[in-house]
Structure 1
C-alpha cells in the first residue's frame, strides 16, 4: 500500500509540473477538477476520522475486554445481535478491533461472535451512520440501507461460522497469550497521567495511519473521476453484476476507513447504481487489503481464505437481493 501511495504521489507531482509529455492529455481543466474532487473528499471526511480515532483510543485505553466478555449471550442469534450492538456501543475501526478480538477469543469469546464484531463494528456505529448520512444528504436512504444490509450480511456470516467453525483459528499459542496478558496487566497498572499518555499516543498513531489511506483513496478516486472516460464508467456502473464486482474490487484496493468511504462513494452517485454503492460501503469495511494483512497476522491462513470467500459471496448475494427486493 505504501508503494502504491508513493507511485500515486509521484504521478501527481509530475502532473502538477508542466511536462510536455503530459500536456497532450492533461489540461488545466483536468488538474482543476482533480484538485476540487480530491480536496472536497479530504475536507469532508477528516472530521469524522478524527472523531472515530478519539473514541477508538478512549476504548483502547480505558475499557477492558473483561467488561465486554461479561455480557456475551449463549444463544447464537442473540450472540450475533450482541456483536452488532457492540459496534454501536464501542465504535472502532478494524485496525483497533482485530488485536482486541484476538484477546477476547483467547479469553472465551466464541469465534462467530468475534468475527461478526470485526466485520460489523466498522459499519454499524453512530459515527459511520452520521458520516454516511452527511455524504448522501440528497439520498439519505443509503445511510439506512447500509446499516440494514450490514446487519443482514452479519446474520448470514455469523450463522455459517457458528455451524462450521469449531476449532480455534488463531495463530497465537496459549503460552504466548499468557505472556501478553502479563504485559498488558503491567501496562495498565499506572496513574491517570500514564493512561492519558497512552490515549494520546494511540490516537495520534491511528490518526496518521488512517490519514494516509484516506489521502491515497481520495487521490485515486479523483484520478478515476477525471481521467476515466465517462462512457466506460457508466458501462461498468450500470451493469447488473459488473457494477457490484467493480465496487468490491475498488473498495478492497482503496482500504479506506469506514468513516471516510461514504464521501468517496458519494462522488460516484451519477455513474453507479445505488445497489453497487451499497456493496462498496458494506464490503470495504468488512474486507480490504490492509485488514487482510492484519487478519493473516492473527488468524490461520486457511481460516482467512475461508473468511474472504464467505464475506465476498455473502455481500454480493445480499447486495443483489437488497437491490432487487428491498430498495
Structure 2
C-alpha cells in the first residue's frame, strides 16, 4: 500500500455525521420550498403556519451569504497549510516569550487561517522548533484576526460598521491577554513529549486532514486536498449553524429574546455558549451573529470573539493534540480573556453591555 493510502481511506466519523446532518437539512429546506408532497409547504405534516418555510428561507439565506467568504478563507488556509514559512517565523521570533506573543499575534494577520487548520498548524510549528508561546498565539490569532473575517464582518454588519473594528480590536486584545496570562499560569512542560507522540497520521483527531507535500509530490495537489478537506468540514458546520440560527430565529418567541436582551449579562452568556456549541468557521460566523438582532451589539461581539478561539470542535482537536489536562486549563484562560475583552471593547465602542 502506498504511503498515506490508509490515511486517505479513513474519513473521520464526526465529519460524516456533520455532512449527513447538513445534507438532510438542505433536503428538508429544498422540499419545503419546492416540493408538493407530504411534508412540503403545500401539504405539511404539522401545521406550523408558515414557520417551516421561513426557517428554510433563513437557512438558505444565511448559508449563501456566508459561503463566498468561507471559500475564500479555506483557500487562504490551504495555502498556509501547504506552504508555511516556518523558517521565517523561527527567524523573526524573539527569545523573550513576553515579546513573542504580540509579535506572533501581529504576524498572524499576514498569515491568516481558519480554526480548522489552526491546531494542526500550531502542532506542526512546535514540532519544528517554534516556541509554544509563538505557536499558541498564532493558533488563537490566525482565525480571529484573519482579514477575510474582518471583511465578512463588515459585510454582515453593513448597518453597524463599528462592529468590524470592534471585532478586530477585541480579538487582538483577547489573544494578547490569553498569551501573556498563559505564560504566567500555564504549564507547557509536557507539550514537547505529547507532540512528539502524536503521529502525523492521527494529527490530533483533526477533521481537516491537511496534507503536507512530500518529496516529489505536487504542492498543487496538496493544496487542492487541503482546501477540499477544509471546505467539506467547515461547510457542513456552516449549514448546521445556519439551520440552528434560523430555527432559533423562527421558533423561539421574540419576547424571550427581548427578555434576555434586557439582561445584558444573560445575553452575553447565551451568545458565548452559542458560539461554543455552533462551532462555526470564523469566515462565516458574522452572518449568523447578525441574525440575532434581539440582543445587544456587545453580546453579538462576544459571539464573534469567543467562537474563533473556543468551540467544541477546537476543544476536541486541542485535547487530542495537547492532552486533556492542558486543554482544560488553556480553554479556561482563553474563555475568560475572550469574554472580558469583548465586553470591555463592546462597552467602549457601543456604550453598553
Whether TM-score is above 0.5 comes out as yes
Match of 1:82 among 72, 79, 103: 103
Please state if 1:27 is matched with 2:49.
yes
Q: Partner residue of 1:251?
A: 275
Residues 154-175 of structure 1: per-residue CA shift (max 9 Å, x gap):
1211111112335133563547
1:180-219 aligned within 5 A:
187-190=213-216, 194-219=218-243
Asked whether the equivalents of residues 171 and 342 of structure 2 are also in contact (C-alpha less than 8 Å), the reply is no
- Tell whether the 8 Å contact from 2:182 to 2:330 is kept in structure 1 after alignment: no
After superposition, the Cα gap between the structure-2 partners of 1:76 and 1:33, relative to the gap in structure 1 and judged at 3 Å, is same
Secondary structure of the structure 2 residue equivalent to 1:286: coil
The alignment's TM-score, normalised by the length of structure 1, stands at 0.88
CA deviations on 1:119-157 (whole Å, 9 max, x unpaired) are: 221011211111111111110100000010011111211
Structure 2, unpaired ranges of 5+: 1-13, 33-38, 203-209
| Counterpart Cα distance in 2 of 1:148 and 1:157 | 14
Count matched residues: 318
User: Which residue matches 1:301?
Assistant: 324
* Corresponding position: 1:228 with 2:249: no
Aligned partner (choices 72, 76, 92) of residue 55 of structure 1: 76
Change (3 A) 1:265 1:190: same
Query: Structure 2 CA distance, aligned partners of 1:185 and 1:275?
Result: 38
Q: Given the two structures, how large is their TM-score scaled by the length of structure 2? A: 0.82
Partner SS state of residue 92, structure 2: coil
Q: Map 1:1-327 to 2 at 5 A.
A: 13=28, 16=32, 17=39, 22-23=46-47, 26-28=48-50, 30-164=51-185, 165-169=187-191, 172=194, 174=196, 187-190=213-216, 194-269=218-293, 271-327=294-350
Q: Is the 8 A contact 1:105 1:114 kept in 2?
A: yes
**1:172-210, CA deviations, whole angstroms, 9 ceiling, x for partnerless residues?**
354767999xxx99943226xx21111111111211111
Structure 1 alignment gaps of length 5 or more:
none
Displacement of 1:35 in angstroms is 2.4
Say which structure is richer in helix: 1
